[in-house]
Amino acid sequence: MAQDDGDTKAEGGGETRTLQRALNVAMIGSFANMAIGVISALVISRVYGATILGAYALAYVGVAALPHATSLCEQPALVRLLAMEPERGERGSGLALATLTLSYTLTLLFGPLVALGSAFYLIHAARLPEAVAPMVALVIGYIVLDKLSWNIDGVLSAYRAAGPLAIANLLNSGVMAAAAIVLALVHKSLWSLTIASLISSAAALGFRLWAVRPYLRWRVPRDAYRSGLRELPGMVRFGLRVLPGSISEGLTIQSSLWVLGATAPVASVGAFSRAQSITVKIGDLNYRLAAVIYPSLVRRAHINDGGRSFAADVMASLGRTFAPLLIVLCGAAGASHTILALFGQDFLSAEGALAVLLIATGISTATMIFGEGLTALSRPALTSIGYVVGLAATLGPLIPLTRTYGATGAAVAFLMGTATSTAFLFVALVAAAPGAWGRHHLAVRGLALAACCVFAYGLVHWVQTVAGAPLTAAVGFALTGLVLWARRRSGSARHGAADDNQAGGSTPVQ
- Do 323 and 453 meet the contact criterion of CB atoms below 8 Å apart? no
pLDDT tens digits, the chain, 510 residues: what are they?
444 444 444 444 555 566 666 666 666 766 777 777 777 777 888 888 878 888 888 888 778 778 777 777 788 888 888 877 888 888 889 999 999 999 899 888 888 888 898 899 888 877 888 989 999 999 999 999 999 998 998 888 888 777 788 888 888 888 998 999 999 998 888 999 999 999 999 999 999 999 999 998 888 889 999 998 999 888 888 888 887 887 787 777 777 777 777 766 666 777 787 777 777 777 777 777 777 788 878 877 777 776 677 877 788 778 777 777 777 777 777 777 777 777 777 777 778 888 888 888 888 888 888 988 888 888 888 888 999 999 899 888 888 888 888 788 888 888 899 989 998 998 888 888 765 565 555 455 555 555 555 555 555 454 444 444 444 444 544 555 554 555 455 444 444 444 444 444 433 344
- pLDDT for 452 equals 57
CA angle 438, 440, 441 (to 5 degrees): 70
Write the CA distances from 224 to 93, 114, 229, 238, 270, integer angstroms: 8, 33, 9, 21, 49
In this structure, how many other beta carbons lie within 10 angstroms of the beta carbon of residue 303? 18
Residue among 462, 268, 410 at smallest CA distance from 347: 268
Contacts of 423 (CB under 8 A, 6+ apart): 478, 479, 482
- Do 75 and 151 meet the contact criterion of CB atoms below 8 Å apart? yes
Is there a domain that residue 510 lies in?
Answer: no
**278: DSSP letter:** H
Torsion, Cα of 35, 327, 287, 173 (10° steps): -10
Is there a domain that residue 426 lies in?
Answer: yes
Which helix (H) or strand (E) segment is 28 a member of? helix 2-59
Is there a domain that residue 506 lies in?
Answer: no
Is there a domain that residue 336 lies in?
Answer: yes
Backbone Cα Rg of the chain: 23
- pLDDT for 438 equals 52
Q: Which domain holds residue 349?
A: 2-496
Is there a domain that residue 504 lies in?
Answer: no
- pLDDT for 341 equals 79
Write the CA distances from 363 to 91, 267, 321, 331, 397, integer angstroms: 38, 28, 11, 14, 19
| CA dist., res. 100 & res. 109, Å (int) | 14
CA angle 6, 299, 307 (to 5 degrees): 65
Is there a domain that residue 501 lies in?
Answer: no
In this structure, how many other beta carbons lie within 10 angstroms of the beta carbon of residue 214? 12
Q: How many domains does the chain have?
A: 1
| CA dist., res. 165 & res. 201, Å (int) | 14
| CA dist., res. 358 & res. 276, Å (int) | 9
- pLDDT for 502 equals 42
- pLDDT for 206 equals 95
- Do 262 and 278 meet the contact criterion of CB atoms below 8 Å apart? no
| CA dist., res. 323 & res. 360, Å (int) | 13
Start-to-end CA distance of the chain, whole Å, equals 21
Is there a domain that residue 503 lies in?
Answer: no
CA angle 280, 60, 399 (to 5 degrees): 70
Residues in the chain: 510
Is there a domain that residue 453 lies in?
Answer: yes
